[in-house]
Chain A
Amino acid sequence: DAGVIQSPRHEVTEMGQEVTLRCKPISGHDYLFWYRQTMMRGLELLIYFNNNVPIDDSGMPEDRFSAKMPNASFSTLKIQPSEPRDSAVYFCASRDGDMNTEAFFGQGTRLTVV
Chain B
Amino acid sequence: RKEVEQDPGPFNVPEGATVAFNCTYSNSASQSFFWYRQDCRKEPKLLMSVYSSGNEDGRFTAQLNRASQYISLLIRDSKLSDSATYLCVVNKAGTYKYIFGTGTRLKVLA
Q: In terms of DSSP, what is the predominant structure of the interface of chain B?
A: loop
Give the number of A-B contacts (CB < 8 Å): 44
A95–B87 alpha-carbon span in the complex (Å): 18
Neighbouring B residues of A56 by C-beta, 8 Å: 95, 97
Neighbouring B residues of A2 by C-beta, 8 Å: none
Give the interface size class of chain B: 20 to 34
Neighbouring B residues of A33 by C-beta, 8 Å: 98
Chain A nearest CB, measured from B80 CB (Å):
24
Quick one: CB contact mask for A35-47 with B, threshold 8 Å, 1 for yes?
A: 1000001110100
Chain A nearest CB, measured from B4 CB (Å):
9
Quick one: CB contact mask for B27-45 with A, threshold 8 Å, 1 for yes?
A: 0000110100000001111
Neighbouring A residues of B102 by C-beta, 8 Å: 41-43
Within 8 A of B (CB), among A88-108: 91, 95, 99-100, 102-103, 105-108
Neighbouring A residues of B31 by C-beta, 8 Å: 99
Question: Is B11 engaged at the interface, CB distance under 8 Å to the other chain?
Answer: no
Q: Is B101 a contact of A31 with CB atoms below 8 Å?
A: no
Neighbouring B residues of A108 by C-beta, 8 Å: 43
Neighbouring A residues of B97 by C-beta, 8 Å: 45, 48, 56
Q: Is B34 a contact of A43 with CB atoms below 8 Å?
A: no
Q: Give 7 A-B contacts (CB < 8 Å), ordered by A residue.
A: A35-B100, A41-B102, A43-B44, A45-B99, A50-B96, A102-B34, A105-B44
A76–B31 alpha-carbon span in the complex (Å): 29
A111–B46 alpha-carbon span in the complex (Å): 24
Q: Which of B34, B43, B96 contacts A105 (CB 8 A)?
A: B43
Q: Is A102 a contact of B46 with CB atoms below 8 Å?
A: yes
